[in-house]
A and B are shown apart, each in its own frame.
Chain A
């Protein structure tokens, strides 16, 4: 048993693909034929077997390739991983959380053994077997947050909670949808959300902050967010805009199915026990249009959502240039028949 990890790339020749099982488990984010912001937060509890929620920290067939891509990003730009001095304790909290969850969900791939402060961590997919002293940074090759997030899929923001606000004071961010940790580091919740259109007027951030500052230990929460990306590129950062921005001009009616990807973020929120901080994992899932439309319900619904998306949102998500081409392509797969409610394929 265990996961068969794919050999693939998220840059240059873009060999990233989803297996048929991974297409079916894709976290399709639209439960109805339209999309608008909502405070769509729910308890992060274990979901059905075979879904991305089967474990609270999901490891999938892209694990090794994503970790290799992260290492490449960090080699070019070490500032993608930053931790302000007061956040080391929160880094240890995160290390414990990710080791526990990965070992619990995937015992054939990960093993954690604890003897007091003496911990041994075995990561078989990446060939790691390290023994270290919990709480003693000098016994690890990196700081605790960097060490474990080089071995965990998704981006991680660690938020310090003080003065009734949340502060972006540490993170590992290499698979982001056009935002920069180096720019946002040290900002509070309202500062780093300032560019988001429409949501401020709806009072969404005030309510979301109130909810997040009250997240309790043992009761994580989650929400889905989405955008679109041309080519299966994980690192769509402002720093590398010159590499991926021009991709958006390359979409043609012939290559939509291969080039255009729905990019879904499974965001979860966890109270950290020692530091009283919050960790915010942002796990990115990519699926190309050719793969997505193998599920007829998703094809019909995505057509309606993208066609009817308010202009401000289309602009914010960077879809403007290729939206007409995409809608035209999807429209051929939408016979107008009703879609069942809920996220899953029929």
Chain B
């Protein structure tokens, strides 16, 4: 099957600064038709044409799935990242024509749940914006606990409080407010499903405590925001296509492979879906695995790499691409 998902031709219909770090972008279809329906937790991959570089970054859809006249995403500026968020903040203005993917959901609600317990950290709030809207439309039972650094960085906290009142609990780091996680996890009704999205440390903490307190793993859902990290440049040989490429400091391995005209399949570009898994033919050096897809054994074996988020340091790397 072909690479990625079906594409949508859109135009940026609005750009709204939300706070000092986060800006919201609105997209409509260029042909004026409705956008495809989606489910809460879905993301789209936004194609950024930045000079001769193309970046493809995934962002959660945060509008209501009940309204498909436009899609909205929120982008947190990352001053030390690879430049995708800076491009969005600096160069994307209303009227710009862009290409995004069809929605893909790798962080779906479990509709069997009697109650949905949601834990968000920072910009991890975005998928919950859509999920709470979907559940509210169906009279669903949910409760959202949202941790942010300061009140002014509590992106959409005010909107959520206004919409859902006491179903939203806020915790501010600068006021030393902390979720009493063990108590929260120990007092849920049977049939509750737990969803967590935020920094890796928070996800690991919540998953560990849930496991320790006897939560079945099927009831614990999480979405990592594993944006590709910059790193030292390295050279790679693509054995199947017979090419040798260089991966720049600010480029992901997947982007460098694509720039060479080779198109591995992908969906999430964040190390979770498994689509771009690539076999290693030989290597001399060390892998920097950043994915959540391969097992620890796979990581140790040196036989596989997820080029969307992982890197390499060393003398030579030959991939089956």
Chain A contacts to B: CB under 8 angstroms: 43, 85-87, 89, 160-163, 210-211, 214, 216-219, 221, 273-276
Please, how many angstroms separate the alpha-carbon atoms of A87 and B112 in the complex?
9
A sample of 23 cross-chain residue pairs with beta-carbon separation below 8 angstroms, ordered by A number, consists of A43-B2, A86-B112, A87-B111, A161-B108, A210-B274, A214-B273, A214-B275, A216-B5, A216-B6, A216-B104, A217-B6, A217-B38, A217-B104, A218-B5, A218-B102, A219-B1, A221-B1, A273-B36, A273-B39, A274-B38, A274-B134, A275-B39, A276-B109
Please, how many angstroms separate the alpha-carbon atoms of A214 and B5 in the complex?
10
- Contact pick for B38, options A43, A210, A273, CB 8 Å: A273
The verdict on A218 contacting B6 (CB below 8 Å), with A162-B110, A275-B39 known, is: yes
Chain B residues whose C-beta falls within 8 Å of the C-beta of A87 in the assembled complex: 111
Chain A residues whose C-beta falls within 8 Å of the C-beta of B41 in the assembled complex: 276
Given A161-B108, A216-B6, A276-B39, 13 more contacts at CB 8 Å? Answer: A86-B112, A160-B111, A160-B112, A163-B218, A210-B274, A214-B273, A214-B275, A217-B103, A219-B6, A273-B38, A274-B65, A276-B41, A276-B108
Chain A residues whose C-beta falls within 8 Å of the C-beta of B102 in the assembled complex: 216-219
| Pair A89/B273 contact, Cβ less than 8 Å | no
Chain A residues whose C-beta falls within 8 Å of the C-beta of B104 in the assembled complex: 216-217
Closest residue of chain A to B217, judged by CB?
A: A163
In the assembled complex, how far is the CB of residue B316 from the closest CB belonging to chain A, in whole angstroms?
A: 30
| Pair A273/B267 contact, Cβ less than 8 Å | no
Chain B residues whose C-beta falls within 8 Å of the C-beta of A89 in the assembled complex: 111, 138
Please, how many angstroms separate the alpha-carbon atoms of A218 and B39 in the complex?
14
The verdict on A162 contacting B108 (CB below 8 Å), with A214-B275, A273-B38, A274-B39 known, is: yes
| Pair A217/B36 contact, Cβ less than 8 Å | yes
Closest residue of chain B to A218, judged by CB?
A: B6
B:126-174 near A, CB below 8 Å: 134, 138
Please, how many angstroms separate the alpha-carbon atoms of A217 and B134 in the complex?
18
Chain A residues whose C-beta falls within 8 Å of the C-beta of B38 in the assembled complex: 217, 273-274
| Pair B218/A273 contact, Cβ less than 8 Å | no
In the assembled complex, B23 has its CB within 8 A of some CB on chain A:
no
Please, how many angstroms separate the alpha-carbon atoms of A274 and B109 in the complex?
10
Please, how many angstroms separate the alpha-carbon atoms of A58 and B157 in the complex?
48
Chain A residues whose C-beta falls within 8 Å of the C-beta of B42 in the assembled complex: 276
| Pair B37/A274 contact, Cβ less than 8 Å | yes
In the assembled complex, B105 has its CB within 8 A of some CB on chain A:
yes
- Chain B's interface size range is 20 to 34
| Pair B267/A216 contact, Cβ less than 8 Å | yes
Chain B residues whose C-beta falls within 8 Å of the C-beta of A221 in the assembled complex: 1
| Pair A219/B5 contact, Cβ less than 8 Å | yes
- Contact pick for B1, options A43, A163, A276, CB 8 Å: A43
Chain B residues whose C-beta falls within 8 Å of the C-beta of A162 in the assembled complex: 108, 110, 218
Best-surrounded residue of B1, B37, B65 (most CB of chain A within 10 A)? B1
Chain A residues whose C-beta falls within 8 Å of the C-beta of B105 in the assembled complex: 276
In the assembled complex, how far is the CB of residue A168 from the closest CB belonging to chain B, in whole angstroms?
A: 14
In the assembled complex, how far is the CB of residue A223 from the closest CB belonging to chain B, in whole angstroms?
A: 13
Please, how many angstroms separate the alpha-carbon atoms of A163 and B38 in the complex?
20
In the assembled complex, how far is the CB of residue B4 from the closest CB belonging to chain A, in whole angstroms?
A: 8
In the assembled complex, how far is the CB of residue B157 from the closest CB belonging to chain A, in whole angstroms?
A: 27
Chain A residues whose C-beta falls within 8 Å of the C-beta of B39 in the assembled complex: 273-276
Please, how many angstroms separate the alpha-carbon atoms of A274 and B138 in the complex?
12
Closest residue of chain B to A43, judged by CB?
A: B1
Please, how many angstroms separate the alpha-carbon atoms of A86 and B141 in the complex?
13
Please, how many angstroms separate the alpha-carbon atoms of A217 and B101 in the complex?
10
Chain A residues whose C-beta falls within 8 Å of the C-beta of B65 in the assembled complex: 274
Chain B residues whose C-beta falls within 8 Å of the C-beta of A210 in the assembled complex: 274
Chain A residues whose C-beta falls within 8 Å of the C-beta of B5 in the assembled complex: 216-219
Chain B residues whose C-beta falls within 8 Å of the C-beta of A218 in the assembled complex: 5-6, 36, 102
Chain B residues whose C-beta falls within 8 Å of the C-beta of A160 in the assembled complex: 111-112
Chain B residues whose C-beta falls within 8 Å of the C-beta of A211 in the assembled complex: 1
| Pair B6/A275 contact, Cβ less than 8 Å | no
| Pair A214/B267 contact, Cβ less than 8 Å | yes
In the assembled complex, how far is the CB of residue B10 from the closest CB belonging to chain A, in whole angstroms?
A: 14
B:20-51 near A, CB below 8 Å: 36-39, 41-42
Please, how many angstroms separate the alpha-carbon atoms of A162 and B111 in the complex?
10
Chain B residues whose C-beta falls within 8 Å of the C-beta of A86 in the assembled complex: 111-112
Please, how many angstroms separate the alpha-carbon atoms of A85 and B138 in the complex?
13
B:252-301 near A, CB below 8 Å: 267, 273-275
Chain B residues whose C-beta falls within 8 Å of the C-beta of A43 in the assembled complex: 1-2
| Pair A275/B267 contact, Cβ less than 8 Å | no
Closest residue of chain B to A42, judged by CB?
A: B1
Please, how many angstroms separate the alpha-carbon atoms of A216 and B8 in the complex?
14
Closest residue of chain B to A216, judged by CB?
A: B5
Chain A residues whose C-beta falls within 8 Å of the C-beta of B274 in the assembled complex: 210
B:215-233 near A, CB below 8 Å: 218
Closest residue of chain B to A165, judged by CB?
A: B218
Closest residue of chain A to B42, judged by CB?
A: A276
Please, how many angstroms separate the alpha-carbon atoms of A161 and B103 in the complex?
16
| Pair B37/A273 contact, Cβ less than 8 Å | yes
Please, how many angstroms separate the alpha-carbon atoms of A217 and B108 in the complex?
14
